[in-house]
Structure 1
Amino acid sequence: MKKLLQIAALLLLIYSYAFAKTSTEPLDSIEEIVSVFQSGSSKELAKFFDQGIDININGNQGDYSRSQAELVMRDFFRKFPPMGFQLVHKGSNSDQVINYIGNYESEDGVFRVFIRGKREEGEIKVYSLDIVKGANKN
């Protein structure tokens, strides 16, 4: 019986360590968002959206729920399929507020993408997305 308890305790310890290791690593990072822009997946991008998000695409601005924003981005990716995305600036005002700037490339040209968000429990929650056509690559 004592040996069974030791084995159970060991398994519990291993499980706890594995769970703690994965839960302390950031689940969502800017590298994942870059990858999503490169693939053009509105569904994957929506996972990073806050409950409400402000999206401005070439002056067409609106406040959307996460599901509405997914549809807006789906339309954008359909009209302008991705050829590449490069992050050109990482910034933050504090540990919680993040600002990123990237260049989204499609056949129709380059778009400058401004991503504003916050960190909550190790995850990035995007609350503002501005996409402007005709930006310089640099």
Structure 2
Amino acid sequence: MMKNFKTIISVILVFCSFLAVAGNTPQDKKVPNEINVGLATGNAKVLSSYFNQNVELVVLDNDNVYSKAQAQQIVTNFFSKFPPVAENAFSIIHDSGKENAQYVIGKLKTEKGNFRVYFLLKQNSGKQYIHQLRIEQQ
């Protein structure tokens, strides 16, 4: 009888610890919807409002650290050459992170093919900023 009681208590404690860990997932880990919309609609201005002051950018032949304004221009040029298809052009495949950093892997459907999109978000002063953005042809 005592052995069963200890087993039940152990199971309850393990279950409660899983709930505690799952409950500690911060709500700010979600990707801001404006980023998804910016990618899905090809709106570089909306997307660049989340760029950090300097962004590590890899888009086609551009591979460097650029200022926010330069990065916006490069992304604008990309979207003019590769306009996203209608709604749901961008979908998140995977996202993960810890504390104040999150990475996202997604798929962008354009009129001229599909692209894999990677970006790194870091939180600063309560807002998430894109520090790295990669758009690579699949």
The residue identity in structure 1 corresponding to 2:122 is: K
Q: Which residue of 1 aligns with 2:40?
A: 38
CA drift at 1:96: 0.5
List gaps (5 residues or longer) in structure 1.
1-24
Question: Out of 91, 97, 112, which is 2:96 matched to?
Answer: 91
Deviation at residue 73 of structure 1 after TM alignment: 0.4
Alignment equivalent of 2:68, drawn from 45, 66, 69: 66
| Structure 1 residue corresponding to 2:114, chosen from 102, 105, 110 | 110
1:50 counterpart = 2:52: yes
Give the RMSD, CA atoms, in angstroms.
1.8
Runs of 4 or more, structure 1, over 3 Å off, are none
Aligned 8 A contact 2:34 2:46 in 1: no
Post-superposition Cα deviations, 1:90-114, rounded to whole Å, max 9, x if no partner, equal 110x210110011011011110000
Q: Any gaps of 5 or more consecutive residues in structure 2?
A: 1-26
SS of the counterpart of 1:82? coil
Contact 1:29 1:123 in 2 (8 A): no
Equivalent pair of 2:34/2:47 in contact (CA under 8 Å): no
How many corresponding residue pairs? 108
Using the TM superposition, give the Cα deviation of residue 63 of structure 1 relative to its aligned residue in structure 2, in angstroms.
1.1
Query: TM-score, with normalisation over the residues of structure 1?
Result: 0.72
8 Å contact from structure 2 (residues 59, 75) kept in 1 = no
Distance in 2 (CA, whole Å) between partners of 1:90 and 1:55 is: 19
What is the one-letter code of the residue matched to 1:91?
Answer: S
Name the CA distance, whole Å, in 1 between partners of 2:53 and 2:121: 12
Identity level (%):
29
